[in-house]
């Protein structure tokens, strides 16, 4: 996990950068601020290593000439088109019942934002201090947006390792309606008869992969499924359409889309 990182900013935004520096230091990340003349595409191309940037848009992650932040405002058009009937994730997570939901694989928070818009009350769990701070910044900006304000009020950000968090819920004998899992590095199906050419990873995901390497091993999330089944009425796992089951565990029900699917696991002991 990244324990030290550079932060680029212009003098105009130095105070804002220092506030992020303070927050991240409390979360175990040493941030070295570098004030530059102009934070633009050319500068980012000339400085390709992983770093943070601060400007009028807030905090972002940058590398290889690219920038990334959880831009929740950019999701507004998608939210306005969404409905309980049109979204497969809504059926899989039973969002019509306005469930209490734990998203244990936060990513950029876009799925949680959609689920909150459709009525879920969500605990969004993220362990990486930089990604958590990016999510925190995205939520703070969204709170001031007339459309998103009411949506993000249904999202609580939790700075914790998901394994630790779920284990604590088990120990405290707490239950939730849904645990949602979307592992960062989905396992490849080694038994496919043909290897299909995969589309290029989106820029945002490229930067996340640089930030979140698991010491060279893919974070498959198998153990999270086992833990989640102890405390959730249903566990929903988002998978590429042709991927193997998480933890090699056949699903109780499945919703299939063109590019992805949702596998659901029900706990009859918790369902009333």
Q: In Å, how far are 20, 78, 164, 221, 237 from 224, measured between CA atoms?
A: 30, 29, 10, 5, 10
CA 200 to chain CA mean position, Å: 19
CA distance 54 to 86: 37
Binding residues: 126-127, 182
Phi, psi of 157 (to 5 degrees): -90, 130
Q: Which residues are annotated as a binding site for S-adenosyl-L-methionine?
A: 126-127, 182
CB atoms within 10 A of CB 121: 16
State the Cα angle at 165 between 216 and 163, rounded to 5°.
30
Structural contact between residues 156 and 213, judged by C-beta atoms closer than 8 angstroms: no
Which residues have a Cβ under 8 Å from the Cβ of 207 and sit 6 or more positions away? 50, 61, 62, 63, 66, 68
């Amino acid at each position: 996990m990244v324990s030290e990182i550079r932060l680029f900013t212009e003098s105009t935004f130095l105070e804002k950068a220092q506030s992020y520096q303070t927050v991240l230091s409390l979360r175990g990340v040493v941030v070295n601020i570098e004030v530059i003349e102009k934070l633009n595409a050319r500068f980012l191309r000339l400085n390709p290593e992983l770093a943070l940037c601060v400007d009028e848009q807030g905090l972002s992650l940058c590398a290889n000439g690219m920038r990334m932040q959880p831009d929740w405002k950019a999701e507004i058009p998608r939210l306005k088109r969404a409905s309980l009937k049109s979204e497969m994730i809504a059926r899989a997570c039973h969002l019509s019942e306005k469930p209490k939901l734990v998203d244990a694989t936060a990513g950029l928070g876009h799925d949680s934002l959609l689920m909150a818009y459709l009525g879920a009350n969500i605990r969004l769990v993220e362990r990486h201090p930089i990604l958590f701070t990016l999510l925190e910044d995205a939520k703070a900006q969204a709170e001031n947006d007339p459309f998103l304000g009411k949506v993000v009020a249904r999202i609580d950000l939790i700075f914790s390792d998901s394994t630790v968090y779920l284990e604590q819920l088990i120990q405290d004998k707490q239950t939730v309606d849904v645990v949602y899992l979307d592992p960062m590095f989905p396992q490849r199906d080694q038994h496919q008869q043909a290897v299909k050419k995969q589309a290029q990873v989106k820029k945002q995901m490229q930067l996340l992969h640089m930030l979140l390497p698991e010491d060279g091993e893919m974070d498959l999330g198998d153990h999270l499924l086992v833990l989640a089944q102890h405390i959730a009425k249903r566990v929903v796992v988002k998978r590429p359409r042709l991927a193997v089951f998480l933890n090699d565990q056949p699903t109780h029900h499945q919703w299939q889309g063109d590019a992805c699917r949702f596998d659901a696991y029900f706990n009859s002991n918790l369902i009333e």
